[in-house]
Amino acid sequence: MSKLIKPDGYKALLDMKQTEQGIKLIKEFFQQNISTELRLRRVTAPLFVLKGLGINDDLNGVERAVTFPIKDLGDARAEVVHSLAKWKRLSLAEYEVEPGYGIYTDMNAIRADEELDNLHSLYVDQWDWEAVITNEQRTSEYLRNVVERIYSAIRRTEYLTCETYPQIKPFLPEKITFVHSEELLQMYPDMTPKEREDAICKKYGAVFIIGIGAELSNGEKHDGRAPDYDDWSTMAEDGRQGLNGDILIWYPVLGRSFELSSMGIRVNKESLLRQLAMTGKEDRQSLYFHQKLLNDELPLCIGGGIGQSRLCMVLLQKAHIGEIQASIWPDDMRKECKEWGMQLI
């Protein structure tokens, strides 16, 4: 069921022409920054993959992929990608990427089960990136270091945007704050996970929540994660569980927390087997991707996705992602958006 946040007094700071120019500015500048910061080279990525190889990603583990038959392959079915976490890891091996270097790509996806609102669209565009690491770098400290570098690239892009369009004022804090999902639960035990995210983001402005996917002390997960890409079960050197997380900010235009990136150190052989067992998905061990990993044919890595439309939405201070990207929206949402000053493309 779609839902819409209607911010009081909202007025777009850029017209549609300026918005399109701003999108181009942000995408080109950030892409150059993140590739330099993390030593990534661009590769071309698929829009769809063959079903049954275990290459597509389940995200929270329940989303249905869009599928279609391929005539020239005897009606074998293909799936439109959800994200490219596993495909990127296969590509790191294929390109023989060395530790300390990686790849990034423009990822376009269709998520038909998405609940449509100001932040969520059927169409998803991300910078998907993946980098090779050593076993010694599979630590919380290394994860934090990479997060800080990504956040620095985001802030540099905010500075350029505000210099180009003086009517847009910067709002991101200088530093990003780190908090573990269990620590967050202890801070706000009576809140839902979403309410906890709002509270911590409103307090600090920009937050990385570590350890998303495993059960917390209350028997619930902060949020779901599929068992076969992020490592959310390994005990880090600080005694906390999980080597993944989300970058979130407090977004004053909508008065709520706002996720910009989901990322993490990826599963190794041991954590893959453990997480498949924890989620009752042991049958996946026989799939193509999982066999490659279990046979030590894939590198250790860290990676994630950074929302392109989302980053543009935040830095151009728009109230609806449909002001940034062309997608399908319910007629009543389009009508309400127009009444509230949100010009959907």
What positions carry a catalytic annotation? 57, 111, 126, 246, 259, 262
Pick the CATH number of 16-339 from 3.30.930.10, 3.90.1150.10, 3.20.20.80, 3.40.640.10: 3.30.930.10
User: Can you spell out the DSSP letters for 52-81?
Assistant: TSS-S--TTTTPPPPEEEEGGGTTEEEEE-
pLDDT at res. 62 = 59
Whether residue 23 is predicted with pLDDT greater than 90 in this model: the reply is yes
pLDDT at res. 2 = 63
Q: Please count the helices (runs of H) and the strands (runs of E) in the chain.
A: 9, 11
If you average pLDDT over residues 223-233, what whole number do you get? 94
Whether residue 263 is predicted with pLDDT greater than 80 in this model: the reply is yes
> Is 44:105 a contact under the CB 8 Å cutoff?
yes
Q: Which residue has the tokens 């209607």?
A: 6
Whether residue 85 is predicted with pLDDT greater than 90 in this model: the reply is no
Question: Per-residue pLDDT tens for 111-121?
Answer: 888 889 999 99
Distance CA 154, CA 27 (A): 11
> Is 245:263 a contact under the CB 8 Å cutoff?
yes
- Residue burial 54-77, b: 16+ Cβ < 10 Å; e: rest: bbbbbbeeebebbeeeeeeeeeee
Whether residue 52 is predicted with pLDDT greater than 90 in this model: the reply is no
pLDDT at res. 81 = 86
Return the axis-axis angle of helices 308-315 and 140-164, rounded to nearest 10°.
50
Q: Considering only CA atoms, which of 146, 149, 130 is closest in space to residue 302?
A: 130
Whether residue 131 is predicted with pLDDT greater than 90 in this model: the reply is yes
If you average pLDDT over residues 187-198, what whole number do you get? 97
Whether residue 1 is predicted with pLDDT greater than 60 in this model: the reply is no
- Look up residue 82 and give its two tokens: 């959800």
Distance CA 332, CA 310 (A): 22
Q: Considering only CA atoms, which of 162, 167, 176 is closest in space to residue 26?
A: 162
pLDDT band at 63 (very low <50, low <70, confident <90, very high): low
pLDDT at res. 51 = 87
Going from N- to C-terminal start, the domains of the chain cover 16-339
pLDDT > 90 fraction of the chain, expressed in percent and rounded: 87
Whether residue 304 is predicted with pLDDT greater than 80 in this model: the reply is yes
pLDDT band at 66 (very low <50, low <70, confident <90, very high): confident
Output the average pLDDT for the chain: 94
If you average pLDDT over residues 34-46, what whole number do you get? 96
More confident of the two residues 269 and 53: 269
